[in-house]
Amino acid sequence: MFQIVQAEPAAIAVRAASWMDLPELAQRLAAAIVECGGWMLSASTDATELSILFEFECDASLEMYVALVSCGLSINKRGHIDLTRLWQCARSQKESPCLHIGRIALTVFASGAEQLRAACAAR
């Protein structure tokens, strides 16, 4: 089953890491979410963590999954499983014309971008 976050309605919790600066990543993710037909409900960032709550039509779940990965996110195993299941559910319901909305609570942790930059600059 999906890992559920305490929110109304329920959201799929996806955790990821990134080497990218979080403010820049937030802009890329916001653009990718909108390009896939999604909309952001909330976003917050600090020095080590970025949190985004967003929704999208489940028919676009594969496109959303690809967009998250193409933004450079290293998604944890549970997140990959849940996103794959969401896509499979949406695909199996293609015959019914009903509109289903997916909600994702994305948490991205900084993975030492400053240390990587310092190491590259020292070379």
Tell me the average confidence (pLDDT) per consecutive run of 10 residues in the chain, 123 residues long.
57 92 94 96 92 92 93 93 86 64 92 55 54
Domain count, the chain: 1
What pLDDT sits at residue 7? 45
Task: List the domain range (segments joined by +) for residue 65.
Answer: 4-122
Q: What global pTM score does this model have?
A: 0.79
Beta-bridged to residue 114, according to DSSP, are none
What pLDDT sits at residue 31? 97
Distance from C-alpha of 105 to C-alpha of 118, rounded to nearest angstrom = 31
What pLDDT sits at residue 59? 85
- Any residues with CB less than 8 A from the CB of 61 and at least 6 apart, and which? 83, 86, 87, 90, 102
What pLDDT sits at residue 11? 86
